[in-house]
Amino acid sequence: MTDQLILGQTLRFSADPFEGDVEAAAHVSARGGVLVRDGRIAAIGEADDLRRENPQAAVTDHGDHLITAGFVDAHMHYPQTAMIASWGKRLIDWLNTYTFPEEMRFDDRAYADDIAGRTLDLALANGTTTLTSFCTIHPQSVEAFFEAANARSMAVIGGKTCMDRNAPDGLRDDAKTAYDDSKSLLEKWHGRNRISYAITPRFSPTSTPEQLDALGALWAQHPDVLMQTHLSEQLDEIEWVRGLFPDARDYLDTYEKFGLLGERGLYGHAIHLEPREIDRLTEVNAAVVHCPTSNTFIGSGLFDMAGLKARGIRTGLATDTGGGSSFSMLRTMAAAYEISQLRGTALHPAQLMWLATEGSASALHMTGEIGSLNVGAMADLAVLDLASTPAIAQRANRANTLWEALFPTIMMGDDRAISKTYISGRPV
């Protein structure tokens, strides 16, 4: 396969910009390039040097557009794509009114195929190259998601959502079917092409202790896979959990006591955490996932980015479609900035871009494979037009640094800012 040279401004990271000097962690080239060989990044550097050293490479020049790693969405629900931006009150009302009726439709494989393809295409149009998704209780919903990703050569993570109580007829399994279905899907798909499986209890209120125990046993048998769930999203949800698990020390303990707390655990939202929960997440090196547009849309609360990062907790960023109100990781970064402002911390543009790429990849234990513009990573790329609308352009034109030019796109950008998306070096 012919080497491909993709030119433009480039942004990559060599360290976590939440640790130490923010700008020292980021490396910017005003006229850089990425050399792609066999789907991976073979070199990154200055455009003139790369052209001279690789005269046979096919060249695509994006001018002054910014080349970055493709965005990594660390928590979403592809079955909720069709019902995104549905008016609602609180989390539990919203689940019962919109989510559960929509998820019941995924017993129809044709419908699942349609929504899976639609979701991935919307993600790619927004520069997102990896999704981590909850599916439904129906095994065919997982098959549809993975097959759609395979057709697009995308790296995705997903799993059968397990629920055996506090859900309507047609959306409940039991401890045995949750274990058996998850095990079968895991053994079929995990590690196949760019697919990773995640054991997926929706959250402890919709699983009996018996089901949580069965899924904990499955994770113990397959410790290399991820486990994804929800944690401490809303205060009334936490009260519900206390009533369902009166012997638990806190919400996290409803997972921990059943073997569902570990380094490869992904805990979505994690807004209203108790000190013990923070300590345990830190001790086991688990990851939390910030879902800012969802947290504001459903009125859940203000995630403590600065506090959790100060404790060294690995943190990803996510749209949480369709509780989240946008498929765009740019809009998600903007909401993350605004929530941090309300908590007294102004996140730097480098920190926001890192969260949406390297940070999410780290949460997924895929550092160096996705979300990276460094040598050896898959060439999943997003190319940003930093003047995609008149309002953004007039502000960017006054910029003296890349950060000043990029920040208006983070705060006001959407799919129009995505000039091109690449999967394994191939333009979408």
Let me know if residue 351 belongs to a domain.
no
If asked whether residues 208 and 307 sit together in one domain, one would say yes
CATH number at residue 319: 3.20.20.140
If asked whether residues 65 and 76 sit together in one domain, one would say no
Q: What is the mean pLDDT of residues 221-246?
A: 97
If asked whether residues 141 and 279 sit together in one domain, one would say yes
Q: Measured between alpha carbons, how far is 109 from 245 in angstroms, rounded to an integer?
A: 35
Domain residue limits at 407: 4-70+373-427
With cut-offs at 50, 70 and 90, classify the pLDDT of residue 85.
Answer: confident
If asked whether residues 258 and 291 sit together in one domain, one would say yes
Q: What is the mean pLDDT of residues 122-140?
A: 98
pLDDT at 87 over 90: no
Considering the chain, what percentage of its residues have pLDDT values greater than 70? Answer: 99
Q: Based on the structure, what is the number of domains in the chain?
A: 2
Question: Which pLDDT tens digit goes with each residue over 141-156?
Answer: 999 999 999 999 999 9
Q: What is the mean pLDDT of residues 286-293?
A: 97
pLDDT at 83 over 90: no
pLDDT at 93 over 80: no
If asked whether residues 117 and 251 sit together in one domain, one would say yes
Per-residue b or e along 96-110, where b marks 16 or more CB atoms closer than 10 Å to that residue's CB: eebbbebbbbbeeee
User: What pLDDT score does 44 carry?
Assistant: 98
Let me know if residue 136 belongs to a domain.
yes
Measured on CA atoms in the order 302, 306, 311, 315, is the torsion positive or negative?
Answer: positive
Let me know if residue 395 belongs to a domain.
yes
DSSP, res 70: P
Q: What is the mean pLDDT of residues 391-420?
A: 97
Among 264, 292, 327, where does a domain finish?
Answer: 327
Let me know if residue 349 belongs to a domain.
no
C-alpha distance from residue 140 to each of 4, 160, 211 (Å): 37, 9, 20
User: What pLDDT score does 415 carry?
Assistant: 98
Let me know if residue 352 belongs to a domain.
no
pLDDT at 285 over 80: yes
If asked whether residues 26 and 173 sit together in one domain, one would say no
Let me know if residue 138 belongs to a domain.
yes
Let me know if residue 396 belongs to a domain.
yes
If asked whether residues 252 and 293 sit together in one domain, one would say yes
pLDDT at 90 over 80: no
Q: What is the mean pLDDT of residues 18-33?
A: 95
User: What pLDDT score does 190 carry?
Assistant: 98
pLDDT at 91 over 70: no
The number of beta carbons lying within 10 Å of the beta carbon of residue 84 is: 19
User: What pLDDT score does 324 carry?
Assistant: 83
pLDDT at 1 over 90: no
If asked whether residues 102 and 193 sit together in one domain, one would say yes
pTM listed for this prediction:
0.97
User: What pLDDT score does 147 carry?
Assistant: 98
If asked whether residues 169 and 303 sit together in one domain, one would say yes
If asked whether residues 66 and 164 sit together in one domain, one would say no
User: What pLDDT score does 98 carry?
Assistant: 82
With cut-offs at 50, 70 and 90, classify the pLDDT of residue 226.
Answer: very high
Q: What is the mean pLDDT of residues 73-83?
A: 95
Mean pLDDT for the chain? 96
Let me know if residue 46 belongs to a domain.
yes
If asked whether residues 120 and 230 sit together in one domain, one would say yes
Within 13 Å of residue 278, how many CA atoms lie on the same side as its CB?
14
Considering the chain, what percentage of its residues have pLDDT values greater than 90? Answer: 92
If asked whether residues 224 and 82 sit together in one domain, one would say yes
